[in-house]
A and B are shown apart, each in its own frame.
Chain A
Amino acid sequence: MMPRSILVTGASGGIGRGIALACGAAGWRVWIAARRGPEAAAVADEVTAAGGEGHAIVCDVTNDDSVGAALAAAAGDSGGLDGIVHNATSAFSSHAGPIGGITLAELDDHVAVASRGLYLLARHGLPLLAAREGAMVVMTSEAGFEGKRLLAAYAMVKAQQRALVAVLAREWGPLGVRANAVAPLGWSPAMADAFVTDPAMEQRVRGRIPLGRLGDATDDIGAAVRFLLSDDARFVTGQTLMADGGSCPTS
């Protein structure tokens, strides 16, 4: 597998950290883009320890200038960019509650981080990816297929992300750039928070996984993302890969 240079948003912990470490283990250069600089730096060190080359950069995916600056810096330092992974998600993502109780401020944050963030990464990232015939991977969710009674805003923006991936694949194909999504069901701090908020949720979630466990952020989820970024997936675009142990029957 050829070493690549990639940028991962929301990579200061959880699934994003797992993606970064999986790519680092393949010897890739990984830019950890997050609002929390110190935490991003810590993950960058872990990437280097895993055999890759880790770098941290502060980035607010909801802000046009911030996204543009982060991508330009990463590509400039690396001589180009082969991949972008949009993993960042709203701080409200694990806040379960009735639909009628979702505030406009909460809805705004979901849309800004998940959907606007993807748009801004596409807007600024396309020239860089086109120069290298690179790839974008978006971390979505099974919620993006099914809807969620208590996580309706989160589910909605995950569906929006899947929609954008499908369109981007068609718009970017002529440029040799691929776009795919991964819908993970992995252990993460956000999942842990959700289980605390709704204890019955843990039983429901685990009860529908044929393989009987949540995925490991690095070895299960990160490996799937690494595949989609690599040349091994050079003929795969516009897809959503379910890395969920068979949980979501929609696929």
Chain B
Amino acid sequence: MDGPPALFVGTLASARLADALGVRHVLRPPAPPPDRGWAPTDHPLLETWRSEVEAGPQAAGVVVCTWADPPSPAPLATLEPEAWRTQVEWPTSLWFTTVVAAAGRCRDGGALVVVVERPATLDAPGHATTVVVSDGLVNLVRSLAAVEGARGVRVNVVTTEVHTAPDPLLGAAPPLSTFPGRVGVEVAGAVRLLLSPDAVGVTGTALAADCGRG
């Protein structure tokens, strides 16, 4: 694919990435249900959203960025059930729905790139809810790549640590001094690479745009 992706799906937290990629069309997902967290009674909201994502012409390149304002760090065992549902169950259902629908918007031979915030395991304490959602989506990308390969559609994921990088860092500093990475440079560059014809043989892969933090 040459040129910007035709479709970008993401929250306001991902606006800088959308701008950096120069996308033509941005879809904003629904906000999480307030107060009581996610519940099955919210299914119609997601069904409506799925239809919205599926509508419209097929595109050579589609980007889904799942970034959200990260919750305040807290050990998992201290989290209240309502917070768990809001921070894990809602985004899991939302982004599962979104990513599957977005794949359908890729034309044959196209590419879908999903961007997720995924702190390195060394930095993950206190960020369990972010990690659990992102690792689930990385896995979903692998499943989806296996499905969409028959159409020549590549599905890959870029993982980032731009929102959850700790200060100070534990252990050695990452190899690249620009850690945790600049949205318009390291992250956008990784997305462009995976969308490009240079990555024609790459699918079902997680590319860590984290300056080597691992």
A200 an interface residue at 8 Å Cβ cutoff? Answer: no
B12 an interface residue at 8 Å Cβ cutoff? Answer: no
A17 an interface residue at 8 Å Cβ cutoff? Answer: no
Secondary structure of the B contact surface, majority rule: helix
Report how many A-B pairs have Cβ atoms within 8 Å. 135
Contact assessment for B89 and A111 in the assembled complex, using a CB-CB cutoff below 8 Å: yes
Contact assessment for A123 and B142 in the assembled complex, using a CB-CB cutoff below 8 Å: no
A2 an interface residue at 8 Å Cβ cutoff? Answer: no
Closest to A177 in B: B77
Contact assessment for A157 and B136 in the assembled complex, using a CB-CB cutoff below 8 Å: yes
Q: Given the interface contacts A108-B40, A115-B88, A171-B76, does A147 sit within 8 Å of B96 by beta carbon?
A: no
Contact assessment for A147 and B76 in the assembled complex, using a CB-CB cutoff below 8 Å: no
- Residues of B in contact (CB 8 Å), total 45
- The number of chain A residues touching the other chain, given as a range, is 35 or more
Mark out the residues of chain A between 99 and 132 whose CB falls within 8 Å of any chain B CB in the assembled complex.
Answer: 99-100, 102, 104-105, 107-108, 111-112, 115-116, 119-120, 122-123, 126
How far apart are B211's CB and chain A's nearest CB, in angstroms? 21
A155 an interface residue at 8 Å Cβ cutoff? Answer: yes
A4 an interface residue at 8 Å Cβ cutoff? Answer: no
Contact residue among B47, B93, B104, B128 (Cβ-Cβ distance under 8 Å from A111): B93
B124 an interface residue at 8 Å Cβ cutoff? Answer: yes
How far apart are A99's CB and chain B's nearest CB, in angstroms? 5
Q: Given the interface contacts A147-B143, A155-B143, does A167 sit within 8 Å of B136 by beta carbon?
A: no
Contacts of A164 in B (CB 8 A): 76, 128, 131-132
B127 an interface residue at 8 Å Cβ cutoff? Answer: yes
Q: Given the interface contacts A115-B132, A160-B132, does A167 sit within 8 Å of B76 by beta carbon?
A: yes
Cα distance, A171 to B78, chains bound together (Å): 11
Contacts of B143 in A (CB 8 A): 99, 147-149, 151-152, 155-156
Contacts of B96 in A (CB 8 A): 102, 107, 153, 156
B138 an interface residue at 8 Å Cβ cutoff? Answer: yes
Contact assessment for A167 and B47 in the assembled complex, using a CB-CB cutoff below 8 Å: no
B214 an interface residue at 8 Å Cβ cutoff? Answer: no
Q: Given the interface contacts A100-B100, A170-B124, does A163 sit within 8 Å of B145 by beta carbon?
A: no
Please, could you name 7 A-B residue pairs with CB atoms under 8 Å apart, sorted by A?
A: A99-B100, A107-B92, A115-B132, A123-B81, A149-B146, A157-B136, A170-B122
B residues with CB within 8 A of A: 40, 43, 46-47, 75-79, 81, 84-85, 88-89, 92-93, 96-97, 100, 104, 121-122, 124-128, 131-147, 204
Lowest 5 CB-CB distances: which A-B pairs, in order?
A147-B142, A159-B139, A147-B143, A163-B135, A152-B143
A residues with CB within 8 A of B: 64, 98-100, 102, 104-105, 107-108, 111-112, 115-116, 119-120, 122-123, 126, 143-149, 151-153, 155-160, 162-164, 166-168, 170-171, 238
Q: Apart from A111-B92, A116-B84, A155-B143, what 11 extra A-B contacts exist at CB < 8 Å?
A: A119-B79, A123-B81, A147-B204, A148-B146, A149-B146, A153-B96, A156-B137, A160-B92, A160-B133, A163-B135, A167-B132
